[in-house]
Amino acid sequence: MSSDFETYEQDFGTLTADITNKIGRIPKLGGDEKKQMVVNVEKQFEEAKELMEQMDLEVREIPVQSRGMYNSRLKSYKQELEKLEKDFKRSRIAYSDEVRNDLLGDDGNSSESQRAHLLDNTERLERSSQRLEAGYQIAVETEQIGQEILENLHHDREKIQRSRDRLRETDANLGKSSRILTGMLRRIIQNRILMFVLGAIILFTIVLAIYFSVRRH
């Protein structure tokens, strides 16, 4: 199993060495020759990634007690490939002095003017980057403020909901108390009417008794 891993290692080493050599040659090329070299290197990167995948599969098949060493080697290969990709990106936009002179001409003033233009563009990019960073910071602060406002609104909503529930409970209690007081008032009125009727009956009875007593005499 480890022999397969070592075979992939050898192929990976040979391939990355060729990629490194071509990356160093790219800035010295121009036109179609450079484009062809870039395409070639891109294909080799694809092959290198496939080798990495094969090595990763091989490592997974290795017993756990022996896997640590192979994982370390695989990690170093991944880091090497990432570095090569970064170098490749830089080499694609880089030019050697000869190619730069061919593109810009041999005139020293033109070269100086081009260099000043590049510096000016660099400063503009830095200023734009600073503005973007400031804008991002403002956006983050605005998001934080918005989050705090939403949290405060959520708390206020909970308070309003609790107050509304208490008002509903109080209203229910008041309605119940009102019904009790209405019943008590009704009973009081009924008792007063009953007392008035009883008083009228008693008074009528006394008057009748006095009338018959006088009439007998």
pLDDT at 97 > cutoff 60: no
**Residues 6+ away with beta carbon under 8 Å from 11:** 51
pLDDT band for position 109 (50/70/90)?
very low
Distance CA 133, CA 192 (A): 87
Distance CA 35, CA 29 (A): 9
Residue 19: count other Cβ atoms within 10 Å of its Cβ: 22
Mean pLDDT value across the chain = 79
The dihedral sign for the CA sequence 106, 110, 112, 116 = negative
Query: Residue 27 carries which DSSP code?
Result: G
Mark residue 31 as left, alpha or beta (left: phi above 0; alpha: psi -120 to 50; beta: remaining): left
Distance CA 129, CA 126 (A): 5
pTM: 0.44
> Per residue in 68-88, pLDDT tens?
888 999 999 999 999 999 999
pLDDT band for position 207 (50/70/90)?
confident
Q: Measured between alpha carbons, how far is residue 48 from residues 39, 69, 86, 122 in Å? A: 14, 21, 15, 34
Q: Do the beta carbons of residue 52 and residue 81 sit within 8 Å?
A: yes
Distance CA 30, CA 75 (A): 35
Q: Do the beta carbons of residue 77 and residue 55 sit within 8 Å?
A: yes
Q: Do the beta carbons of residue 121 and residue 56 sit within 8 Å?
A: no
Q: Between residues 201 and 170, which one has the greater pLDDT?
A: 201
Cα angle for residues 107, 113, 114 (degrees, 5° grid) = 90
Which residue bears the tokens 């070299």? 37
What local confidence, expressed as pLDDT, does residue 141 receive? 63
Distance CA 28, CA 19 (A): 15
The two structure tokens encoding residue 64? 């756990």
pLDDT at 35 > cutoff 60: yes
Query: Residue 62 carries which DSSP code?
Result: S
pLDDT at 130 > cutoff 70: no
pLDDT at 108 > cutoff 50: no
Distance CA 216, CA 154 (A): 93
The two structure tokens encoding residue 88? 């490749």
The CATH number assigned to the domain with range 2-105 reads 1.20.58.400
What local confidence, expressed as pLDDT, does residue 135 receive? 47
What local confidence, expressed as pLDDT, does residue 184 receive? 87
